[in-house]
Chain A
Amino acid sequence: MNTPDGINPNTSTHMSQMPSQPHYKGLVASLGALAAVGTLLQSCRKEKEALFELNPVNLYSSAAEKDKEKTNAQYISILYTNLFQSAISSNQVFELDEAFRSIGDQEIAKEVLISNFFNNAGVQLPTSEEMNGDMDTFIIETYKRFLLRIPNEAEQLWVKNFILSHPYVTPEIVYFSFALCNEYKYY
């Protein structure tokens, strides 16, 4: 049985090379007993429960704080997470990055990718009823999800009026706009 520092008290060369003079014998015995008690105590200790959790993401206080453009790989990964609420595989990111590099207009590449994602059943979207039932919350949550910030009053009012005045606007259309806007391409 090993001690906490990894030394086996019975086989350690450190111990065996100790001089065998009488006044050391008591000390050796005491140390041995101490080590045994320590080991016993440690083996009886209740195991700590591992707790895994996501780091909280700090919200931006303003869009002005975003000054770095996301790479294609960052954009694709974050978009996937935002829409599917799960992580994309690194292989998929690599393959999509290649596809993006083969298209000159990155705006078009993004539009096509988003519309393909929305054709996938796994997208996590609120329903139109949920959006219309509590529009303020929907708008705030959409800003938080995509832009990592709370909308200011003017933004919230404008988006609310926009949705109310466009009867065909669904959460999907709103999400599409947010995923395509310039602010979403920055961090």
Chain B
Amino acid sequence: MKRRSFIKTSAATAAGAIAAPYILPSGRLFAQTGSRSAEHVVLVMFAGGVRHQESVGMRYLDDAQVNEPYPGNIMYNMLTGAPPEMKIVYGTGEGGISPIPALPSFVNNSLQAQGTLFQEMQAFSSGHFGGLNSILQGISAESQGLKQRPINPTIFEYIRRHGGYGATDVWFVGNGIDGSVPLLNYSGHPDYGIKYGANFFAPNVTFNQQSQTYLGNSKIYHPENELNPMYKLKAFLDNTFANYGGSLDALGNTEEEKQNIKTFMNLMYEKVENGTLNLPPVSDSGDAYTIGFASEVMTYFKPAFMTVNLSGVDVCHSNFSDYVRAMHRADHAVGHLWEVIQNDPNLAGNTSIICIPECGRNDEPNSIQDENLWRAYDHSDANSLRIWSLMAGPGILSNHVVGSFDAPVGQVSDAMLTVADILGIAGSIPTNLLADNTQSLLYLMNNPG
């Protein structure tokens, strides 16, 4: 080969490699590494076991209860569709007969209209913890034990390690401290772990009255005269202990970040006391409070990535009416979070959102009836592996639907890779740590296959 043609061929190959998506040994395609499509990503784990039929299926009572032919969309902030016309129990007031109105910015402009809906996706696990782990780790979580930290690295660790983000750039806002939720902010993987973990609050516990009794009256120390020597002396003691082999890994918040978090905590205690928390207009549920605190985290820290976990719909094990109420409120809460983001000049137009349930619910009800004589649903069969996902933000197609009820596209592990893709680090994630066929939803959006 002549020198000129060699250079020409090499240049063309190099250009192709830069422009084209990576083709990994596994044959998977990822979007170009290194280019971010948004500065901030919010992942809403719309969790607790959301039955496909009542959520994205918009069937309300029609598929769930005998002799109740009343379909309709009870998530009209997130999804496009007409609400039920009769048998409304999910609203406010006595009997829940007054539906919560759509939030102003979602009237005739649902999140679905603003973004892309994956109408039918596949979950790997019909359990909550397995499902949450699949979302955060991008794996099937088959060997993931309960009461155990994630086996493989979480999205938090990938972002911090490969994206170079600080600890307060990555947040996990949990719905509570039960169900091993506090274990999800970092894995036990030897190459990642706590030093790349996310900051975590379960705000309904951290900022409740009980915790405020112990943690809400912090003494303010002078940063230079008091805190500085305090940390110096601690550093000396830690160094001495390290000489004997003693050390303790930590999340890696810098001193400045720690002070910032402590200031935030004091601010939250004040806001709770004054009733000025940034709550959704209707805030009569635990999920509403979780989202309220998540909104505060988002606007205060402006993190690169925040995950928030909802769980109110899990009441469906024993009360179907409360389940539809919780779903209606979760939709309202997600709408509020997106409005908060759009009203913050530093976040608006620069933030993407992904919503995904961790698992669905059974096709057939159990024997428990509620006050309306409606049957409750557990989650263990094939129907409970039916999920969906909704995303919006820069670079995401608007008013776009991918797949259909008969033709699923995507799986639960895709959410993790999508976050990584949006933040430009997808190519850094070891493919052997992902579930088979895991893809970025950004890729599937344009290439549903």
Residues of A within 8 A of B (CB): 62-64, 66-67, 69, 92, 95-96, 98-99, 101-109, 111-113, 115-116, 118-119, 155, 158-159, 162, 166, 168-169, 173-174, 176-178, 180-183, 185-186
B340 to chain A, nearest CB (A): 22
- The reply to whether B206 and A99 form a contact with Cβ atoms under 8 Å apart is yes
Known A-B contacts A98-B211, A103-B201, A115-B219; A177 and B237 likewise in contact (beta carbons under 8 Å): yes
Instruction: List B220-249 residues whose CB lies under 8 Å from chain A.
Output: 221-222, 225-226, 229-234, 236-238, 240-242, 244-248
Are B201 and A104 touching (Cβ within 8 A)?
yes
Q: Which of chain A's residues has its CB closest to B174's CB? A: A102
User: What is the CA–CA distance of A169 and B234 in the complex, to the nearest angstrom?
Assistant: 13
Number of cross-chain contacts by CB at 8 Å? 142
- 15 further A-B contacts with Cβ under 8 Å, apart from A95-B214, A116-B214, A173-B230, are A64-B246, A92-B214, A99-B215, A101-B177, A101-B202, A104-B198, A104-B251, A105-B167, A105-B258, A105-B261, A111-B262, A116-B217, A116-B218, A119-B219, A185-B248
Closest 7 CB pairs between A and B? A104-B200, A102-B205, A181-B237, A177-B233, A102-B202, A168-B225, A99-B211
With the chains together, A171 CA to B187 CA distance in Å?
39
A181 B205 Cβ-Cβ under 8 A:
no
Contact present for A104 and B172 (CB under 8 Å): yes
Main secondary structure on B side of the interface with A: helix
Contact digits for B104-119, partner A, Cβ 8 Å, 1 yes 0 no: 0000000000000000
Chain B nearest CB from A170 CB (Å) reads: 8
Residue on A nearest B247 in the bound complex, by CB: A182
Number of interface residues, chain B, beta carbon within 8 A: 52
Q: Which residue of A lies closest to B241 (CB)?
A: A183
Which of the residues A63, A64, A173 comes within 8 Å of B233, measured between beta carbons?
A173
Contact (Cβ within 8 A) A112 B251: no
Q: How far is the CA of A92 from the CA of B167 in the complex (A)?
A: 30
Q: Is the CB of B240 within 8 A of A183?
A: yes
* Residue among A62, A92, A96, A183 making CB contact with B237, cutoff 8 Å: A183
